[in-house]
Structure 1
Amino acid sequence: MSNTSSSVSEFILHCAIQSDQRSGIISALTIILLTSLFGNLLVISVIIANPHLHAPMYLYIFTLATIDLANSTVLIPKMLSVLLLDSSAVPYGACVLQMFIVFHMEALLLCFMAVDRYIAIVHPLRYHSLITNRTVCVGVLILNIFGIIVILPFLFFVGELSFCRTNILPFCFCDYATMVHISCSDNPKYLSLLSGAVFTIGVFSLGPILFSYSRVALAALKISDEGKRKVFSTCLTHLLVVGLFYVPLMLSYVLPGAGVKLSTEVYNVMVIVGNVLPPTMNPIIYSFRNKEINVCIHRIFTRKRTVLLVKKL
């Protein structure tokens, strides 16, 4: 690319992975992609096909599965094409779209879901009056509007960046902070706003999550031993997913904005773990452990098996 150029039509993903690790990473990403696609598509299909699942909790699960499906299909296939086919060029628009998906508001959705469980377990008699399909839909709408408002400044900032030195991104994905680092724009606003936004959203969403699950855990101490085990198991698994999502992503965004330089390998691992693992685990944690969804899935596969047996006869 010419040194005098200030705008680019595409970015080059330089997915620097050692040759002895490449096959293992390709296998892991393929398994994660297939698991995520199967799990999230199955959850979405089951909820759509069963009217009795059109209830607040399942609307949250449906929204989470939709976000996770978009996340997996935007990020992992491109990583695999870079690793398998050396298809490293990404059009400018597609790169910005990938960045937009990475900035999704799953953090706030996880917060809503934690509050939903808090009200259901700690205030069960008030749950149906406080949490309705209408309130969930309004909440998801507000979540998306807020997400767009938060993301818009960064989309404008990307348009302001000039790339006079290189258009090579030293990672397997498109990322806003990396675009700022390779650009010729030295204005600190580009990264300081990112750190501030991520920190603010992280605190205001993680706080209610921790509060909700701690109150749920305290409420569990007053019920039977079997109920305690079930509630504590649910809390721990939900917090595991929350931790896998929050910790690496918050650190990967906040630290560079605060002036801390991360190595390519560390940054790669942080963003991949935060964006790739939760979409794979969410269907297992939030959906397949749910009795109603399990029953519906069992009916689907037993019905198919019955149809196949009838056709053979």
Structure 2
Amino acid sequence: MSDSNTTDFSNPSTFILLGIPGLEAAHVWISIPFCAMYTVILLGNFTILFIVKTEPRLHEPMYYFLCMLAVTDLVLSTSTVPKMLSIFWFNSREIDFSVCLTQLYFIHCCIVMESGIVVAMALDRYVAICHPLRHSTTLTNRFVAKIGLAVVLRGSILALPFLFLARQWPYCRTNIISHTYCEHIAVVKLACADIRISSYYGLSVAFLVIGLDVSLITVSYIQILRAIFSLPTKDARLKTFGTCGSHLGVILAFYIPALFSFLTHRFGHNVPPHFHILMANMYVLLPSMLNPIIYGVRTKQVRDRLLWHVTHIE
């Protein structure tokens, strides 16, 4: 294997994923919480999809966006976790070159899509609270479908250059990736070429997407808070703000791990490599696990419908 890793080649047929270098002895133990989180992701997000589909009262924009979020979380986690667990359990480290790049594409596509869905949810809360009488006429099924299409197209288009740039670099040093999945920078760092364009594009997308989306969410919530504080009673203010609780939880669950992972990867040069990789894994797993839990616990309609299904199981 050492010969194949050092021989000159352009576009290797396979890459070797090391998992978490430095923690190889603990791979089996690390796999336990990862497997548990993935199980919660599958059960939680499929449950959300089932409840919204079977409950006509939940056929509203907020729950359509929640279903989009659930599908995105399922695709994101499933594109990474099974291979990750096969490394931990079976030492199955090889991944085909094209499969690696496909994984890379879906990771970035889903992350951009998830950010867009969180913005769409903020729009729904803004219209529901600031313009409640126009909510049903503004956020029609047709308009929600257009938002969903725009979110998918934005994620798909912005992720394409990651794929094309990674494919066109010559890989003539090694095919060993010190990671559990094909993360963009971890892959292109193996190229024997000037990869600054890949690095700059990754930074540009991160700042553009996070900067734009966080700005839109902030503007929405400024208007929401103004509307809430104009309500006459404290109970009315608390009740109205409570309708935003689940969405605020999703915002924190998505952006905090993303920002932490991004900052430690780009600027935490003294941080141990295994910590970078663990944070990158949390960035993929944690939001996908927390989103259905947050909405299941915080949203009365989802919680009541879930309890109904549980109590009516024969």
Coarse TM-score class (shorter-chain normalised)? 0.7 to 0.9
Q: Give the TM-score of the pair, scaled to structure 2.
A: 0.87
- What SS does structure 2 have at the residue aligned with 1:182? coil
- Summarize deviations over 1:17-62 as a string: whole Å, max 9, x none: 5256445422211221111111000111112223332221111011
- Contact kept, 8 Å, 2:264 with 2:276, in 1: the verdict is no
Match of residue 84 from structure 2 = 79
Q: CA deviation at 1:292?
A: 2.0
Q: For the Cα contact (< 8 Å) 1:166–1:182, is it kept in 2?
A: yes
Please report the RMSD computed on the Cα atoms of aligned residues, expressed in angstroms. Answer: 2.5
| 1:285 alignment partner in structure 2 | 294
Counterpart selection for 2:168 from 136, 160, 174: 160
1:133 to 129, 132, 141: 141
Equivalent position of 2:103 in the other structure: 98
Task: Give 1:177's aligned residue.
Answer: 185
1:218-255 per-position Cα deviation (integer Å, ceiling 9, x unaligned):
43333544444455556565444323422443565578
Q: Which runs of 5+ in 1 are unaligned?
A: 309-313
Amino acid paired to 2:37: I
Tell me the TM-score normalised to structure 1 length: 0.88
SS in structure 2 opposite 1:11? Answer: strand
In the alignment of these two chains, the number of paired residues is 305
Match of 1:25 in 2: 30
Does the CA-based 8 Å contact 1:195-1:257 persist in structure 2?
no
Residues 199 and 254, structure 1, Cα contact 8 Å, conserved in 2: no
Quote the offset at 1:259 in angstroms: 11
Letter in 2 for 1:214: I
Q: Which moved more, 1:235-244 or 1:254-263?
A: 254-263
Contact kept? 1:119, 1:126, Cα under 8 Å: yes
Alignment of structure 1 residues 1-313 onto 2, 5 Å? 1=4, 2-15=6-19, 16-18=21-23, 21-103=26-108, 104=110, 105-221=113-229, 222=231, 224-232=233-241, 235=244, 238-250=247-259, 252=261, 263-304=272-313, 308=314
Counterpart contact for 2:102–2:163, Cα < 8 Å: no
Question: Which amino acid counterpart does residue 189 of structure 1 have in structure 2?
Answer: I
Of the structure 1 ranges 60-69 and 74-83, higher mean CA displacement relative to structure 2 is found in: 74-83
Alpha-carbon displacement from aligned partner over 1:268-300 (angstroms, at most 9, x marks no partner): 133222211001110122344222222322232
**Equivalent position of 1:311 in the other structure:** none
Deviation for aligned residue 1:13: 0.9
Aligned counterparts of 1:61 and 1:240: Cα–Cα separation in 2: 13
Per-residue CA deviations over 1:53-79 (Å, capped at 9, x if unaligned) read: 222111101110111111222222221
Counterpart of 2:8, as a letter, is T
**Distance change in 2, residues 1:273/1:18 (3 Å):** same
